[in-house]
Amino acid sequence: MNFITPDFANPAIWISLLTLTFLEIVLGIDNIIFISIVAGKLPKEQQRKARNTGLTLAMVFRIGLLLCINWIIGLKDPVFIIPALEVHANKSIPLSYKDLILIAGGIFLIVKSTLEIHHKFQKDDKQELKKGSKTIGFGRVIIQIVMVDAVFSFDSILTAIGLVENVIIMIIAVIVSIGIMMLFAGPVTRIINANPTLQMLALSFLVVIGVVLVASGLHQEISKSIIYSCLFFSLVVEMLNLRLKKRSEAGERN
């Protein structure tokens, strides 16, 4: 890894920058969904501030981690080993600090998303939602966002390390991608909050991402491209359902 100023006259530099920026945006989708759902519990006048604060903290986390790139690489060294079971001989699992962070973050996502899904199924949903919006504080929301930001930042930076060697390019890609995510976080939040079925789809997706993080921490790799492809397909089907529902309602009125 180097901190040498890249030669922007070289087309390869721009290709690397655009590729990494696109990857950061794709990897940030789950972060945006989590921030949108958690910030949605706040009063409307505080939601935008919470989203922007959360994404700004994500940018600060990632830039800070990039400036400590050698330390991040060192986190991949094993600290202890889970011994092999009799059923799986020679399959011991070495765990590093990076693995432990991913496992802890995945468990947090699974628990948090599952609790939110359970909350949606409660009988007095509207009353509890109104009560929850009064009791939950801005600081509590930010703390939850910070915890998830830290996990997603580690995952994002470790992925970027395998693609680009110049840290300055990584920092530029992070700043650009976070800026783009800030532009689209508002519309994403409004769409998710306006459609309960989309909320359920988003929460289910976060549970899957939590499982993927835990599996990754245990060195059981799951293709993220398959996960995102399934999400996109489910999203398309859900949008078609919503459009059909609106047309049916319009037909009944006429």
Tens of pLDDT, residue by residue, the chain (254 residues): 566 777 778 888 888 888 888 877 877 777 888 888 888 778 888 888 888 888 888 888 888 878 877 677 667 777 777 776 555 445 777 888 878 888 888 898 888 888 888 877 774 455 444 444 444 678 888 888 888 877 777 777 776 666 677 788 888 888 888 888 888 888 887 887 777 788 888 888 888 888 888 888 888 877 777 877 888 888 888 888 888 887 877 777 76
Q: Given this model, what pLDDT does residue 151 score?
A: 78
Question: Which domain covers residue 187, as residue numbers?
Answer: 11-77+94-253
Q: Given this model, what pLDDT does residue 133 score?
A: 44
Q: Is residue 2 part of a domain?
A: no
**Do the Cβ atoms of 73 and 83 come closer than 8 Å?**
no
Q: Is residue 150 part of a domain?
A: yes
Q: Given this model, what pLDDT does residue 129 score?
A: 45
Q: Is residue 198 part of a domain?
A: yes
Nearest residue to 71 (alpha-carbon basis) of 188, 163, 161, 200: 161
Helix, strand or coil for residue 166? strand
Number of domains within the chain: 1
Beta bridge partners of residue 96, listed in sequence order: 78
Sign of the Cα pseudo-torsion (88, 91, 97, 101, in order)? negative
Q: Is residue 131 part of a domain?
A: yes
Sign of the Cα pseudo-torsion (27, 29, 30, 34, in order)? positive
The residue assigned the tokens 């060192």 is 74
Q: Given this model, what pLDDT does residue 132 score?
A: 46
d(CA 135, CA 207): 25
Q: Is residue 86 part of a domain?
A: no
Whole-number Cα distances in Å, 80 to 75, 99, 149: 12, 11, 26
Contacts 24+ apart (CB under 8 A), 229-235: 231/29, 231/205, 234/201, 234/205, 235/201
Whole-number Cα distances in Å, 58 to 66, 145, 222: 12, 9, 24
Is the overall model pTM greater than 0.85, yes or no?
no
Q: Is residue 5 part of a domain?
A: no
d(CA 77, CA 71): 11
Q: Is residue 122 part of a domain?
A: yes
Q: Is residue 109 part of a domain?
A: yes
